[in-house]
Amino acid sequence: MNFFLSTVVVNSSVVFLGALLCLSFSPFDYSFLIFIVIALFKESLSEISAKKAAFRGFLFGLGMFGTGVPWVYVSMTLNIQGFSIPAMLMTLLFCSFWAIFPAIFAYLYIKLRRDNIFDVFFFASSWVLIEYIRGELVLNGFPWLQVAYSQLDSPLSAYIPIFGVYGTSFIIVLSAFLMADTVKKRCFFRFFIISVIILGGLALKNITWVQAAGDSFKATLIQGNIAQKNKWRTDNKKATLLQYYADTVKNWDSELIIWPETAIPAYYNDVKESYLLPLQQEAVANNTDIMTSLPYKNEQGQLYNAVVVLGENHALYKKIHLLPFGEYLPWQPISGYLLKLAGMSLGQFSAGEINQPLLKVAGYSVVTSICYEDAFGSQSIHQIKQARFLVNLTNDGWFDGSIEPYQHMQIARMRALESGRYLLRATNTGVTAVISEKGEVLKQAPIAKRAIMSAMVIPMKGLTPYAQLGNKAVLYLAFLLLLILIGIHLFKSDRL
């Protein structure tokens, strides 16, 4: 009986640890918690079998994703009154699926560790590679709650423009492991290493990786604040178009005006002649470029989530990295059946080509992303050498009243810091912001309010180390380190 109770207590505490990890991210921002949580999670895996470790890893993941991404349920029930069992089941399935990845990590760590000095590198390398698989490869990637995002305002943020998300995650996890060992083994050499890591971050803060590429220009970001449930109503279309037009003509003194994702609730061809063409003519006459978003259907009937530039350099960008379950449906036919039960009907979008020409606005080439795309550092630095700033158009209206817009904003800040470029982020309901090349929020509109926000933007040139190397260098190193450690494990096993 006592054994049963102790098992329940330990397993419950692991779920709690996973939930506690979420407080390290926005909107809570207790960044120091990430180290405590990972250190305690590491200790929870001590002296148990690999199978039990996998189960605890799964419980940790349930706590993490169950607390960190409950907005999945919010998005599925936005147009539903009352509680939805199918939506809750889909949310549970979603969280359970991603919880498998901490389980895999825990299993591998316990299965292959050797209880020696190399364990810290095995622990950190395994964590980073599992984060990468989850964040980039499976179901088009789900990089939410990757530990590096918690450190944007800590000394460790200085490592981000050098190593990116995954390299910084390695440093964080390694530091947390050393913290656990410092307390457990009273080995203060480990504390010395942690101190060097922190002091190194403080020193690196003073390094400037990029330079101004020209004079600053004025940009205006429009946050329409049109509720998602009203966005596509036919009787609301005219009012929406008039609202964005009225907010735009007040700001013809700006070189660039940006509307959020799907600001125009209509297909491109349906409004091309009546709305877009006259607006483009006005934009050209006022020496202004407008970036707006709307669905685009080509002659073959393929549907794209797109950004269009209205101005001297009229062009179109088609979203590359699609959102699973939002813009396409994996796990068919199960996912389609459950979403139908939940009363949801989602569009089936096609992905744009990876090497689309950069859009040119306000006289400069720009890396453009739509919503979820700003969660992928490799895409933001693609063609960054030619780009002078970043633009992200987002609609987080699906997650009304949840923590998702704040988490998403934190992710967006990472892209600015990694690339060494300003990021102009226009959203429908928030968080609309101008972010500097150092990842600092220079200006931010209030959430869930109609807002027009203008700021001066400095075009930047030059490349951060991360922009030059991307994720490959860190991932290859982590993978090589993992192979060496596994090889040592197998060699010693054969010798016994």
**Is the CB of residue 144 less than 8 Å from the CB of residue 375?**
yes
Beta strands across the sheet bearing 433-435: 359-361, 364-370, 389-394, 423-427, 433-435, 441-444
Secondary structure of the chain in the HEC alphabet?
CHHHHHHHHHHHHHHHHHHHHHHHCCCCCCCCHHHHHHHHHHHHCCCCCHHHHHHHHHHHHHHHHHHHCCHHHHHHCCCCCCCCHHHHHHHHHHHHHHHHHHHHHHHHHHHHCCCCCCHHHHHHHHHHHHHHHHHHHHHHCCCCCCHHHHHCCCHHHHHHHHHHHHHHHHHHHHHHHHHHHHHHHCCHHHHHHHHHHHHHHHHHCCCCCCEECCCCEEEEEEECCCCHHHHCCHHHHHHHHHHHHHHHHCCCCCCEEECCCCCCCCCHHHHHHHHHHHHHHHHHHCCCEEEEEEEEECCCCCEEEEEEEECCCCEEEECCCCCECCCECCCCCHHHHHHHHCCCCCCCCCCCCCCCCCEEECCEEEEEEEHHHHHCHHHHCCCCCCCCEEEEEECCHHHCCCCHHHHHHHHHHHHHHHHCCCEEEEECCCCCEEECCCCCEEEECCCCCCEEEEEEECCEECCCHHHHHCCHHHHHHHHHHHHHHHHHHHHHHHHC
From residue 442, how far is each of 64, 430, 439, 445, 457 by CA, in Å? 30, 15, 9, 11, 10
Active site residues: 261, 319, 371
